[in-house]
Structure 1
Amino acid sequence: MATYAVTGHIDLTHKSVGLVRAALREVFARHTEGELVGVSCIAAGADSIFAEELLAAGGRLVVVLPSRDYRQAKVKPEHAETFDRLGSAAAEVVVMPHETADRSAYEAANAELLRRGDRLVAVWDGAPPSGKGGGTADTVLAAREAGLAVDVVWPEGAARRG
């Protein structure tokens, strides 16, 4: 069994979504031994794309939510249906012991992702940490420091909005 944790950008361009989906399918197609398990916070963007492709590949989804209020406080209306569908499809939902979704809650959720994962799939453009903490680059650095294998997924032509 291999457990893949995910971190990635929420602000992918429309064109990038298809490119990232195809790249994630390739990652999961390489998995041939034992059960396929993925751990995701199912945020908009990379986290949800990862979860959808994992489920499509027959994997078991574990959802980690940063706080008790995450759904109400942070999930935007345009992502709510996807978030709810993925949460319902999860084999397990873990809610971190934080009341509110803040920096410490995100950092705790990322630590839990890394604790549960054997590998980290990073949908990441390679940009350095923003200094806010809890972002994609921070999670990649923490995974590398912990000795976890990191698979960077940033296909040719992928871009962020903005």
Structure 2
Amino acid sequence: MERTTRIGVTGHRDLPEPVLECVSTGILDEFSSQAASGPVEAFSALAAGADQLFANLALRSGIPLTAVIPGTDYERGLGGPETRLAYRRLLDACADRVDLPVERTREEAYAAAGRWIVDHTDRLVAVWDGEPARGVGGTGDIVAYASRVGVPVRVLWRPGARRP
């Protein structure tokens, strides 16, 4: 029986247009290169930006998706109606869902979800500009955590691009 490779994502919510093609190509390459050696599963918190892009590409590639839901009133904090609608659509398409325990603050809940993804996957895709996290549990924090615990990280970003 082939071992399933579990790939998680962390990344920025606001992705500038110039990075979308580069990041999408990198995610698809990660999926196909891992699928060459066996089944793949994808893990995402389904937030706006990198998480939703990753989740959509996983589903389009026929890869089962697991939603990792931070322990907070998550959907309300996701942004506008379009983002929440996309979140619900993705959540409905997931093969599995993990609801994490409630945390004291929204940032702590996001950090816990990022760590959970790292702790339960074999590889991490980071849609990251290389800058420090702008808040607790931001992309930079999750990449640093993955590095500390030995989970391989593939960073995707277009050189020279700046996020808003």
TM-score (norm 1): 0.90
Is this contact kept in 2: 1:69–1:101, CA < 8 A? no
Specify whether residues 67 and 100 from structure 1 end up closer, same or farther in structure 2 by C-alpha distance, changes over 3 A only: farther
Match of 1:97, SS state, is strand
Bigger shift: residues 148-157 or 29-38: 148-157
Match of 1:50 among 48, 54, 66: 54
Q: Does 1:117 align with 2:121?
A: yes
Query: Structure 1 unaligned runs (5+)?
Result: none
Which position in structure 1 is the counterpart of 2:142?
139
Specify whether residues 88 and 25 from structure 1 end up closer, same or farther in structure 2 by C-alpha distance, changes over 3 A only: same
Pairing 1:32-71 to 2, within 5 Å after superposition: 32-71=36-75
| Aligned residue type for 2:58 | L
Distance apart, 1:133 and its partner CA:
1.2
Which position in structure 2 is the counterpart of 1:29?
32
CA deviation string 1:70-119 (max 9, x = no partner)? 11233421212211111011111111111676122112111111111101
Q: Distance in 2 between matches of 1:2 and 1:138?
A: 23
Distance apart, 1:59 and its partner CA:
0.7
Which position in structure 2 is the counterpart of 1:102?
106
Give the paired residue count: 160
Match of 1:38, SS state, is strand
TM-score (norm 2): 0.89
| Aligned residue type for 2:63 | G
Q: Identical aligned pairs, as a percentage?
A: 38
Which position in structure 2 is the counterpart of 1:92?
96
Which position in structure 1 is the counterpart of 2:77?
73
Specify whether residues 3 and 107 from structure 1 end up closer, same or farther in structure 2 by C-alpha distance, changes over 3 A only: same
Q: Distance in 2 between matches of 1:96 and 1:139?
A: 17
| Aligned residue type for 1:70 | Y
| Aligned residue type for 1:29 | S
Q: Distance in 1 between matches of 2:40 and 2:106?
A: 30
Bigger shift: residues 103-112 or 116-125: 103-112
Is this contact kept in 1: 2:19–2:161, CA < 8 A? yes
Bigger shift: residues 65-74 or 102-111: 65-74
